[in-house]
Amino acid sequence: MKVYHYAKCSTCRDALKFLDGRGVRYTPVEIDKTPPSKSELKQMLKYYDGNLRRLFNTSGLVYKALGLKEKLSTLTEDQALELLSSNGKLVKRPFVLGDNFGMVGFAKDEWKKQF
């Protein structure tokens, strides 16, 4: 299982502590240095019924600077995935991909069910 995270993000740190506390094995990936690939993003998109907005860090500075709140609905899926795969700070985090599941964000109740 891969966990894309951002070291300066307190939510990501909490998520990693949660996994460590439960003895969950994972491969940490620094999302700002190595964003998820287009294929990983497509895989995650399947878990969220094609809802591209769920994959974006809508509260992030880069999202706001690019004016994506207004532009997102006009982007094709391929354009959106290209943006996400080229800048990890645009991706909602933590971004977790397992063999048969995917999760974005750290909702503790959901994580308790999964882990």
Average pLDDT of the residues of the chain: 96
Q: How many CB atoms lie within 10 A of CB 92?
A: 24
- Fold assignment, 2-114: Glutaredoxin (3.40.30)
Res. 79 pLDDT band, cuts 50 70 90: very high
Instruction: Dump the DSSP string for 16-69.
Output: HHHHHHTT---EEEETTTSPPPHHHHHHHHHHTTT-GGGGB-TTSHHHHHTTHH
Instruction: Tell me the domain boundaries of the chain.
Output: 2-114
Q: What proportion of the chain, given as a percentage, has pLDDT over 70?
A: 100
The mean per-residue pLDDT over the stretch 71-75 comes to 94
pLDDT digits (tens, 9 = 90+) for 5-51: 999 999 999 999 999 999 999 999 999 999 999 999 999 999 999 99
